[in-house]
Structure 1
Amino acid sequence: MVQKTILPDKNTLIETATDFIINKIKSSIETTDRCTIALAGGSTPKPIYEAIAKTDLPWEKIHVFWGDERYVLPTHPDSNEKMAREAWLNKVDIPVSNIHPMPTNGNNAEADAQKHNQEILDFFGISSGFPSFDIILLGMGDDGHTASLFPHTKALQEFDRIITVGNRGESIRLTFTIPLINQAKCVIFLVAGNSKQEALKQVFSETGNPKQYPSKFINPQGELIWFLDESATQGLFHS
């Protein structure tokens, strides 16, 4: 199921998405007694994480992962983990064992991708295949990339693994793969700003090329929710 919710501005998008995500976390816990959520980086999710941190939730039942990460130390200003810890995780009483960051402390991204691949398999208690995260949060770049799945890169061709190396020029990342994202119960895109218009047009076009606009590859078995602001969607849809 694909659902598009268009909000008048970014602040309203953040407020609406926050309520939806919190309710989705609660629903997952009610259904399975836990919630597995994979976080996105970027400026849009940060106030959402700050709002979640102020919410009364059973933190011991929430397991936090990341959909992608720059291959930098977790203390680096560009680290998605650092941002999420400062905005949310350091402010709540969540068990350390419930936080599952991507390993970026080594000097071998490929080895660390394989390590995290195994960590996720072990967590979900499976030996192979693709587990189903309850919630995966995604953003979309002006070029149509999502997570660290960039246009015309090798990561787009990885269909056997959970985690792979994503590259953006000289910048090395670890990232969820397309089939892992598509196994999720709920994928939530958060997209704001007029710089996203062309990419959105291609992603929602029947003729758009997913290798050029990788967000088009995302078609999960569960829900696909797009939270968009009007400046990103001018001329694309009718509310």
Structure 2
Amino acid sequence: MPKLTFEATLMEKFIEILANKEEITQRALDILLVKIKDALQSRDQFTIALAGGSTPKPLYEALAQQALPWDKIHVFWGDERYVRSDHPDSNQRMARQAWLDQVNFPPTHLHPMPTAANDPKVDAETYNRELEQFFHLNAGEFPVFDVVLLGMGDDAHTASLFPHTEALTVQDRLITVGNKDGQPRITFTVPLINHARCVMFLVTGANKQEPLAQVFASEADAIAYPSRLIQPVGELWWLLDAAAGANLT
């Protein structure tokens, strides 16, 4: 299937429809390798925030096959389920198994979200401070990640920013507590994501057609469709498979 590319009014927004998950993985890998090269040339360091779920796993497995300067790459997570790091649902566990434990990453370059305090607000504050210290932020400043990877659920949530939840309205923090059917999550806030140099959505499946229609509509309720809130100052990439993007024109 030929690749379809749409460019929005700003040149920094790109929507690509690819045949399947395999093509999304390859395209995402190609983009990431360019971003890593550019960041290392400009700043001698690359920062990335990972997404959870099944869609990015093949990308992580592909990254594990690359010969990259791991000592110049710092890995963070955009959200985390409030479970132990060895729990089957842990985003950290998935990324470690698929990629991070397969290469020679310096342990200090991996920055997982803490989940051991038995209080998600405490752990969210701990991660907030870690980001402030790592990026040497002053009060009121937001870090600028080189790349933030995101997925999107069939309710148009992204990271752990779910429809009609308080987390969507947090503007003065880097990290907050999300809520999924009464279960806490730790998540990047909308403004933190939107300060990134590059945000990349990986979206698959026919069940994403209706939420994508609302996300891309000229008018819709962003509180009901949270992925609409993601409008970064840098590049915004949507990589969709043919099933997800079937109704886009």
Normalising by the smaller structure, the TM-score range is over 0.9
- The amino acid of 1:45's aligned partner reads P
1:220 paired residue among 216, 220, 232: 232
**Distance (Å, rounded) in 2 between the aligned partners of 1:124 and 1:235:** 41
Aligned to 2:98: 87
Aligned to 1:232: 244
1:166 paired residue among 163, 172, 178: 178
| CA displacement, residues 174-195 of structure 1 (integer Å, 9 cap, x when unaligned) | 0000000000000000001100
**Distance (Å, rounded) in 2 between the aligned partners of 1:53 and 1:30:** 21
Aligned to 1:143: 155
**Distance (Å, rounded) in 2 between the aligned partners of 1:38 and 1:163:** 13
**Are positions 1:40 and 2:51 aligned together?**
yes
Structure 2 gaps of 5+ residues are 1-11
- The amino acid of 1:151's aligned partner reads P
Alignment of 1:122-137 (within 5 A): 122-128=133-139, 129-137=141-149
**Distance (Å, rounded) in 2 between the aligned partners of 1:194 and 1:10:** 12
1:22 and 1:52 in contact (8 A); partners too? no
**Are positions 1:66 and 2:69 aligned together?**
no
**Distance (Å, rounded) in 1 between the aligned partners of 2:88 and 2:242:** 30
Give the structure-2-normalised TM-score. Answer: 0.94
SS in 1 for 2:47: strand
Aligned to 1:18: 29
**Distance (Å, rounded) in 2 between the aligned partners of 1:235 and 1:85:** 35
* Amino-acid identity (%): 54
**Ranges of 4+ aligned residues in structure 1 off by more than 2 Å:** none
| CA displacement, residues 123-182 of structure 1 (integer Å, 9 cap, x when unaligned) | 001132211000000000000000000000000010000000000112210000000000
Aligned to 1:208: 220
1:155 and 1:164 in contact (8 A); partners too? yes
How far the C-alpha of 1:196 sits from its partner, in A, is 0.2
Q: Decide which moves more: 121-130 or 219-228.
A: 121-130
How far the C-alpha of 1:122 sits from its partner, in A, is 0.2
**Distance (Å, rounded) in 2 between the aligned partners of 1:235 and 1:144:** 16
| CA displacement, residues 87-124 of structure 1 (integer Å, 9 cap, x when unaligned) | 00101111000000000011010011011101100000
Structure 1 gaps of 5+ residues are none
Query: What RMSD, in angstroms, separates the aligned Cα atoms of the two structures?
Result: 0.8
**Distance (Å, rounded) in 1 between the aligned partners of 2:88 and 2:53:** 12
**Distance (Å, rounded) in 2 between the aligned partners of 1:21 and 1:193:** 22
| CA displacement, residues 58-104 of structure 1 (integer Å, 9 cap, x when unaligned) | 00000000000001000000000000000001011110000000000
**Distance (Å, rounded) in 2 between the aligned partners of 1:77 and 1:30:** 37
The count of residues paired between Structure 1 and Structure 2 equals 237
SS in 2 for 1:4: strand
1:50 and 1:87 in contact (8 A); partners too? yes
Aligned to 2:4: none
**Distance (Å, rounded) in 1 between the aligned partners of 2:50 and 2:97:** 13
1:50 and 1:88 in contact (8 A); partners too? yes
